[in-house]
């Protein structure tokens, strides 16, 4: 994916001058002089490649590629608001057509199977762009959609988009009452029982659900129904004694409540929801730094009478334009989110571990930028931790309401690798970050991504929530990163750290791996946990470490690399640790093996050789496969910088023997 090069947020900066002055070039072709020489050459080229792509302000950001629902829903939003233009439509359609599979479908990740809701939304977007239903690529898509059950079998969110234009009946959708905004935080199904990403989406959707708007459809979609005369077949209720049965009947009761809800009460609830939305708009106009809540917030506020020139709406729409990546061929891809803080801290760690001096100007510039991104005001996390002082970092350029625990841990690890000209400022920032992360520990001793103890079993039961994760329970990968950070900060023996370690040891899978919530999947989880446990003092001879090593060696591919398909989230027995080798997943496995003391092993040697042999001449790696996750299986991510930062980190630790960040006092 090629991004714009204008230096604006969301753009991939042009190449800067090479920084190969960090050490002398190693002569000879790749492969000469053995594995270590090949590793050093690959490390040098990767270092130059990464340094050359730093923005002048100090940050790195690669494209964040997801699937075409982002592009389809962007066009549908513009159609709904009456602002769709020919240039945007043509560019979006070009991208969507290019992502269609040979069988007429669209997938949610590279090499994945066709997905019904994604295919429906892509098809409708192309209809908006003027593609006729009898064109071969469209006829093939609609035939497949009908075979899968048609629109009636699509997820709720897809049918909401269609209901906005009368292509689906609102009464055939689950009810989401705006009065939800008034539920106190101790009450089940209050908005803070939902993960922050779901919360930001559900609040505006309560307004949309209450208003039930319909814009005139520009064309019918009869070809996407199995029976156009009866598009919404009756659905059998689950047994009343089951949770599904309970919530289905609750939804029926809410439909009845809608008919009798006092208008003044409902209007007051929607106004409260609108205030909640507006209070959480970020300085750049977005909501939460992610596209879906921004889209639904714009629609909700528009329904309540906010015109498109209102400052809130104007800035919201402008923020959505910043999610667009324009390619050289004229296509336009929409990012669901942008990852500059995450990319920058990972790039800093990689470069430092590869031997770039701690006082190198580009590392200092990266540290300066990260220091400026620290969040020093309360956000939604403070609902559960009202006495905790702020001090975290978010994932995005602007997301002060939702700093995350994972980014904060990795930023601290990155800052520890930099020799900064203002050490007092650095220590204060790190201290705030450590204190905030410790304060966000859940009661089971582990850490989630954004909130504390966000583990209610009820949100996932709602008929409305049939897509992706809507809660934020602790995960092994986030907990591991926090434990590693605390160990580097000299807190390995702190009781809070020990509780995190105990939780990680208890979470190990029978085969020796760990589940990966935010990366694919068991390779990511294992690659995160093993270095953390070793950093915290767990010996490499510990049975848990040995089981992890044995598992990684058992799933290494014949080419020396590691890979894992996203289907491992659906069928772990078949796909755990299995898939085409990728640079990022190979690096994750190597990071675990190196931490476990396996630097001289045949598995490590073969993994390093895979990275050296698959590296491009310019120091980069190709990686079309998706190795990141938003929601396991349902929403997958290809972080375009993963293929650079993680291999460089692994090569650096192989060459230099250990991470450059040392624990305090060591």
Catalytic positions, written as ranges: 406
d(CA 247, CA 460): 10
Helix axes 263-279, 196-211, angle to 10 degrees: 140
- What's the rounded Cα separation, in Å, for the pair 78 and 87? 12
SS3 209: helix
529: closest CA among 501, 488, 552?
Answer: 501
Rounded CA-CA distance 517/110 in Å is 19
Q: Which candidate, 128, 92, 126, places its Cα nearest to that of 331?
A: 92
How far is the C-alpha of 345 from the C-alpha of 341, rounded, in Å? 6
- Determine the longest span between alpha carbons in the chain, in angstroms: 80
- Which whole-number Å values give the CA distances from 143 to 20, 73, 119, 149, 155, in the listed order? 55, 22, 11, 10, 18
Can you tell me the distance from the alpha carbon of 156 to that of 251, in angstroms, rounded to the nearest whole number? Answer: 13
* d(C-alpha 373, C-alpha 399), whole Å: 10
Length of the chain: 666
Angle at 442 between CA 376 and CA 436, to 5 degrees: 20
∠ CA 652-655-657, rounded to 5°: 90
Report CA 533 to chain centroid distance, whole Å. Answer: 24
| Alpha carbons 538 and 481: distance in angstroms, whole number | 15
Within 8 A by CB and 6+ apart from 487, the residues are 497, 532, 535, 536, 537, 663
- CA gap 130, 96 in Å, rounded: 13
Helix (H) or strand (E) holding 139: helix 136-147
Answer whether 585's CB lies under 8 Å from 523's CB.
Answer: yes
Torsion of CA 535, 538, 539, 545, to 10 degrees: -100
**142 close to 123: Cβ distance less than 8 angstroms:** yes
Say how many Å lie between the first and final Cα of the chain, rounded. 43
Distance between CA atoms of residues 284 and 295, nearest Å: 14
Which residues neighbour 174 within 8 Å (Cβ) at sequence distance 6 or greater? Answer: 156, 251, 462, 463, 464
Sign of the four-CA dihedral 411, 413, 417, 420: positive
């Amino acid at each position: 994916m090629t991004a714009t090069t204008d230096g604006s947020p969301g753009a991939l900066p042009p190449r800067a001058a090479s920084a190969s002055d960090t050490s002398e070039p190693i002569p000879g072709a790749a492969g000469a002089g053995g594995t270590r020489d090949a590793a050093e050459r690959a490390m040098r080229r990767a270092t130059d490649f990464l340094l050359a792509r730093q923005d002048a302000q100090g940050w790195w950001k690669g494209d964040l590629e997801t699937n075409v629902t982002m592009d389809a829903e962007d066009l549908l939003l513009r159609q709904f608001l009456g602002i769709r233009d020919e240039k945007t439509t043509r560019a979006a359609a070009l991208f969507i057509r290019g992502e269609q599979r040979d069988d007429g479908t669209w997938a949610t990740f590279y090499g994945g199977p066709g997905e019904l809701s994604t295919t429906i939304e892509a098809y409708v977007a192309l209809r908006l762009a003027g593609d006729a239903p009898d064109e071969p690529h469209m006829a093939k898509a609609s035939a497949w959609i009908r075979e899968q059950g048609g629109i009636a079998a699509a997820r709720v969110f897809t049918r909401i988009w269609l209901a906005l234009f009368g292509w689906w009946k609102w009464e055939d959708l689950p009810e989401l009452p705006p009065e939800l905004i008034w539920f106190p935080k101790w009450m089940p199904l209050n908005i803070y029982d939902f993960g922050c990403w779901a919360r930001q989406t559900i609040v505006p959707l309560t307004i949309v659900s209450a208003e039930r708007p319909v814009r005139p459809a520009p064309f019918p979609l009869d070809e996407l129904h199995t029976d156009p005369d009866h598009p919404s077949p009756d659905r059998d209720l689950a047994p009343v004694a089951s949770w599904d049965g309970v919530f289905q009947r609750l939804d029926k009761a809410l439909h009845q409540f809608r008919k009798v809800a006092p208008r003044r009460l409902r209007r007051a609830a929607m106004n409260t929801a609108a205030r909640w939305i507006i209070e959480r708009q970020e300085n750049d106009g977005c909501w939460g730094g992610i596209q879906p809540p921004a889209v639904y917030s714009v629609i909700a506020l528009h329904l309540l009478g906010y015109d498109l020139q209102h400052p809130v709406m104007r800035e919201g729409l402008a923020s959505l334009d910043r999610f667009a990546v324009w390619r050289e061929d004229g296509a336009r891809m929409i990012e669901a989110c942008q990852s500059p803080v995450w990319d920058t801290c990972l790039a800093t760690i990689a470069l430092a571990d590869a031997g770039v001096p701690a006082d190198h100007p580009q590392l200092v510039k990266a540290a300066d930028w990260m220091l400026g991104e620290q969040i020093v005001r309360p956000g939604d996390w403070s609902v559960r931790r009202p006495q905790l002082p702020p001090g975290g970092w978010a994932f995005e350029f602007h997301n002060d309401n939702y700093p995350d625990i994972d980014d904060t841990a990795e930023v601290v690890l990155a800052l520890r690798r930099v020799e900064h000209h203002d050490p007092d400022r650095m220590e204060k920032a790190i201290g705030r970050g450590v204190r905030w992360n410790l304060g966000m520990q859940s009661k089971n001793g582990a850490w989630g991504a954004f909130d504390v103890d966000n583990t209610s079993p009820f949100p996932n039961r709602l008929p409305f929530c049939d897509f992706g994760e809507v809660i934020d329970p602790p995960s092994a990968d986030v907990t591991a990163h926090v434990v590693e950070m605390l160990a580097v900060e000299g807190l390995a023996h702190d009781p809070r750290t020990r509780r995190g370690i105990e939780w990680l040891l208890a979470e190990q899978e029978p085969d020796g791996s760990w589940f990966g919530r935010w990366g694919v999947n068991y390779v990511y989880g294992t690659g995160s946990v093993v270095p953390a446990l070793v950093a915290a003092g767990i010996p490499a001879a510990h049975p848990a470490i040995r089981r992890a090593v044995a598992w990684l060696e058992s799933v290494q591919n014949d080419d020396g690399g590691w890979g894992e398909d996203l289907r491992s989230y659906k069928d772990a027995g078949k796909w755990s640790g299995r898939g085409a080798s990728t640079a990022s997943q190979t690096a994750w496995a190597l990071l675990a093996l190196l931490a476990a003391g396996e630097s001289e092993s045949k598995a490590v040697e073969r993994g390093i050789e895979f990275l050296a042999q698959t590296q491009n001449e310019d120091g980069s790696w190709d990686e079309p496969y998706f190795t990141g996750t938003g929601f396991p299986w349902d929403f997958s991510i290809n972080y375009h910088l993963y293929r650079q930062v993680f291999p460089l980190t692994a090569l650096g630790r192989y060459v230099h023997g250990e991470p450059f960040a040392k624990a305090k006092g060591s």
